[in-house]
Structure 1
Amino acid sequence: MYRGSTPTYFDYYQIMINGATGQVTWTDSLGDMHFSSSSAFDANGDGRDEVLCSVNEISGSFKHQLKLIDFQNATINNLSSLESGVNLGCTPLIDDLNDDGLLEIVYVYKLDSLNPSAWTGFKMKSLQTSYAVPYRGMAFSSYMGTNFDGHYTNELVTCSTTILNNHFVEQPSCNGFTDGKIILTNFASSTNTILWSDGSILDSLTNIQAGNYVVYLTDTNNCVELHNFQLIDPYSVAFGNISHNVCPGDSIGTATISSTGCVCQFSTCTYNWSSGSLIKHATQLPEGMHSVDIHHPDGCVVTDSIYINDGIPVIDSSFTTSPSCSYSNDASITLIPSFPSATGCSWSNGTSLLINDQLSPGNYAVEVYNMNCTDSLFFTVQNVDPVTFSPTVSNVLCHGEANGEIQIDSFSGDFPYNTVLNGVIYSDSVLTQLSPGYYQLYTIDNNNCYSDTVIFQISEPDPLSLTFNVTPATDSGYFDGIAHAIVQGGTTPYNYVWDHLPFLNDSVVIYLTNGYYPITVTDNNGCQIIDSAFVGLLSNIDSESSNFIEIYPNPSKGSIQIKNTHKSPISYTVYDTRGLIVNESKALPYSNQINLDLPIGTYFISFTHYNGSIFKKIIIN
């Protein structure tokens, strides 16, 4: 085996695994690099196989060497000297190639001692050994084994003559003691190996306990002989008159111990139970393991134990169901008795049935009984989590629209779920196109459980309205008019776009001449209102016509008189500073006058006659 990952390996191991148990029995790290598989054969004729490894050493350059591992003598011997080169994956061949009864080892390695991956040639060598061909054949003498099938070779056959002629067995002196013996005597002269089932290779086993032991004997004629030996304890111990507990928690169990070493009531055996009894009988035993020491007349103490069962419970098992919904009373508790036909019960809620249903969450107690036992049991019915949700309400954006929304942000319950709005069931979590008003909302989960109902309002902003405060221009050609847009309703802040100044976001525009000025106002929700401000003139170039109009007193305390001295009729219109008409007349005949009562403020009056129009300013203070 190697340690690391391709292409870097930093350690290499040789490992032996016990084929019967899978346990690692031997580990070493020979050489600096080792990829080829090992071989096995009996090199020294002791009937035990040695292992041949082809390893590489690295010390400035690569060198190759064959090593032989003797597990019986715990030695590692070098079969070849260190030779320049490297063996990456060639398993040595072990065979008697010239039929002289001695083994040769044929091995191959690369010539290049600096670059193990280079293809600069190979060297093949045959090493003549003094090892005789093993009696039992070559165990694993090449790649994939002696027969190239991956199997370990064993050519042993059943012996036709007896190898073991006699043996001696000494049984353990007391139960559990390890003083037994098996001694093999009088072997055939051709005996080669001894192997016990416990791994020993000696001709005897000592200090062993009761059990079965197997020994395998081989001889130089390549045959194997098997012997079984059974060691037994001197006393046979058994329990009788066993009675277990009837009800859970009882202490009425009994047991009696007997031993072949205590054959009659007058024997001198003594007893010592873990429960305190000093005779062969033990009574009033609770559930559990109970041990007893038997002291035999010969001093042998045997310890054994017996398990006394607890009594059979009145109720073997039970199961509880929770309510289907947090507000439901349909939970249940079901009792499964050990003896159904002989079991009764009495519940704390008054029922006497083994199935207690239509329950609400809470604690319940029950007394159960059968022909032998009674018991008290307690149960808690847990409630399920309620169905809950968290909505986000979006109001209508503009007055008179129907674009309100409700979105379910979080939900607890069994998915999928439905949303119920004003009695209408929806499968969506977002409800749109809602008009202003009050709504009732709840959810239903996949178990048909309902949440609490939430009442909420979807509101709308006030309608947008637009008025103007206007300061007229002094006269035609003058740019001293002012328009102030006054917005109410909607959602602040507002955005103002005047047609003649589209990049000016302001409610006031100045330097205006006579005329109409359209404006688009957009609120924070995108709602719009469009209107125009009219900027008039305080007077015009027709100064002659202006002289025929008399306004007095101006400024005034509230009442003014207007007189027409022009030879033709005129009409007039009075505006406030917002541009709204507050008074008007279709005709004012020549030499006529009128009185006007106006609130405090600044006004503009427009006079129109056949030759044009003039503007005048009126101040009421």
Structure 2
Amino acid sequence: MAVGSAAGGTPPYSYHWFDNSFTSFSTNDTAFNLSAGSYYLEVTDANGCDTFSTVQVIAPQTSLSGSPQVYGVACKGDSTGMIVGDATGSWAPYKYYWIDNLGDTLRSTTYKTARDTLSNLISGVYNLHVYDAQDCFVSYAISVGEPATSLSIDSISVVETIACYGDSDGSARMFVSGGMPNYTYMWDSGETGLIAQNLSSGYRHVSLTDDWGCTVVDSIYIFENLEIQPTVSLVQTVSCYGNTDGIVTVSSTGGVGSNIFFWSTDPVGHTNNPDTVSGLAEGSYYVTTQDALGCEVVDSIYVSEPEPLAMQATALSWISCFGADDGLAYAIGQGGNMPYTFTWSSNNQVGDTINTITPGLGTVTVVDDRGCTANDTIYMYEPELLEIDIDTSLTIWPYCIGVNSASLTSVVLGGTPGYTYLWDDNSVAPQLTATASHLLAGIYTVTVTDARGCTASDTEDIDSTTNTMNVIIDSLTLMNISCFGDNDGAVNAITTGAHAPYTYQWTGPNGFYSTTSSISSLYAETYSVTVSDTNNCTVNTSINLTEPAALIFTTLSSTDATCLGACDGTVEINLTGGTAPYMGHAQDNNTGNTLMNLLSGDSLFGGVCSGDYTISLSDARGCSSELLVGGNDQQTIDATDTIDVAVNPNLCVFIFCYGDSTGGVALDFSIYDTSYSYNWYEVNDPSTSLGNTSQIMNLGAGSYVIEANYLGCIATDTMVLTEPDPIQITGVVTHLLCNGDTDGAIDANVVGGTISNTGYTYSWSNNNPATQDINNLPAGSYTLTATDSLSCESSKTFTVTQPDELEVTIIETSPFVLGISALTGGTPSYSYVWYESGNNVGTGTSYIVSSNGTYSLEVTDANGCMATSNNRVYNEPSSIVDGEEVSFRVYPNPFREEATVDFGYTVKEGTISIVDIYGKIIEQHEVANINSFVITNKDKASGIYFMKMETDSKNIFVKLIIK
């Protein structure tokens, strides 16, 4: 549609519309039913004036679409369905009209650009009308679906109750139907399988969710047996420390059946299982209470013992005097079990305090209330017999007649110190010390009393004989003068006898005087001493000190060195005085260096090199020499010949490859002298000659010396032969992750040797490329040989390894359970996926079969290598019979209360076993002469079981289902 309007000119106006081909199709101001394209309007006024205008009619780029999206009802009968309308194309904005299958409008919207949603729908058919801005519309009939049947947990059966209180090994299985497969499971134990195997006791909840998100919840009660509750009691503690007479007992409640006990004191394999044990030492003991199902509870008890019984005996007072037997002591006990009884070995007296202890080592025994004993010893000291003796070796006699210079000294033995003394030298004021002094000749008695009042005495007679004083010169410390004219003499006087202390008066040359016993810094001369004691008794003696004659010399002549560098010159010397042997000193007048040699025959100085020297001497005492008046101390040593030798590097042969012995060295022939003798040697082994020719070959790297010798004169030169670094090959090996792969690689690195711009050349074994690195390798050994620019070679072998081939075999480990019989090769750890006819049905090392089919196991190792097992075809039989054919049936099966097994013949003797899906025998019966047997659901949870009938001639195996 297009509308024209005019202004100006002279009304009225006339209108003419033209299409794109200028064909007139309307004379109205408004043109209808236009398609997309260009149109022209001519307007003419009353005077015939006209004008043209152009209008462009456009169409939408795309057609109108509602694009409804349907979300079905999650759970049958719910109102969780949803439809989303998402309008596009034509002209926005859009309006949405939602209508149910009865024609009632459920929802309508005003113009909007966003999508619109109709939610909370039950299953059924719904109509959607979408209008654009030009009222163009599209309609849709939309069906909202729901599952055909309700999602249901039909039943939950207990597979295994909990045998031991507190464990989490109960198991249960769900049976489900309805909803929209696939299903997901969530037990409150965190397990996500149809079967939960780690359930604790109580109500266990599980949710079932189908593929549309519908969820139902159910629960089942898992039973567990009563808790084992032991009571451990102490019957008797250990009587004495370290004994083994403790007794404990145990009783218990709970568990299943009769409980038995295992003590930590039992030896391995012990089966007595007593409730009371004895003969126990101190410590903690553990008892394990075990019920008929093997459930265990461990308890402990501590058996105490008293502290170690100990005692201490202490002397309060020692025996006063030798032989008195009046010692006093007491004893105390600790530990053990009070009260105590004390028995003393001294006279077998009883009590904790005794005052008639005899001397020596005694024993005290304590006995506690439970008969435990302990001992201690006590040493009762008896003082030794008190004795006093006047020591004649300490007696000082009167040196001069009539002088009271004598003294007596007593020595006390035994008794008890602090002693007191009493001399009978003076009745008014006797001396009271151990030594009595200022005594005249006579008889004297001393009495001593010790700290405990014990006494002893001794008597001595002294006469008037004078004690002689002696003075000697100590020869051990006497020192005569060492060198002529020195003053290092020394003398020491030793005095004995008489009455010390002594006084000394020394006299000597040049007014020398001293009052000490030792004198020093003396010249050669005579020295005299007068020694006096305190009683003015005197002794005189003297000593004469000597000195050696002066060391005087002069040089007489010299002999020259045989050649330059040979230090074999000599100097002849004439000398007198001093002390032999003598040392010659030759100081080089140019360098100041000094050569020192012992003189041969006291007159010949040898081993002198060429040069000008000043000669001096020293003797054995280190005394220096004096030059003889008018003498000569200067000498010159000449050398008549010289030698020279050198290696010519231009004639040397160098080493190309590391470790080779292809080198050679040669003399410089320009200075070669046939009168010399030559010798080659390695610098670190001069004792081993390598040859005496002008050139030597076949040498390895090292430093080589040529030595030339002429009349004992020696000259040397050194040449160093080098070699390249060794060619060293290293590399990084990429090993195979899976057996049989061919993606191994070796990244090699080569250093050393001698290389040019072209580098090394490479050669690999096994016909591999002549490159530094090689790839796409199977397992095996590969040897690389690298050659440098001088054709030196080095080789190294690399090994590419692979794991053993991954292989797995599965078997039926128990009825309806598949497991692994062998898994070898590959790289741990492994992951497992079970397949039934190519469909993934489970993971783990075992799989419980729920339907007939062909099963296999795919194993993947840590490197991603995979292996598939053998196929295992599972056809669940109604029964398996070994032997002759029989008529055999179970009815009803499944059953709730009981089922009858009809064998079809009379079983004379056999064994019936009821086994759960894990292969555990939960019930067993010995039967005879029967043709049928009734199975009940007593003590069995709902689920799948197997009955096995074993006879001498056949075995019958059938699956049972308890609802």
**So what's the TM-score if we normalise by structure 2?**
0.23
**So what's the TM-score if we normalise by structure 1?**
0.33
Higher relative contact order (CA 8 A, sep 6+): 1
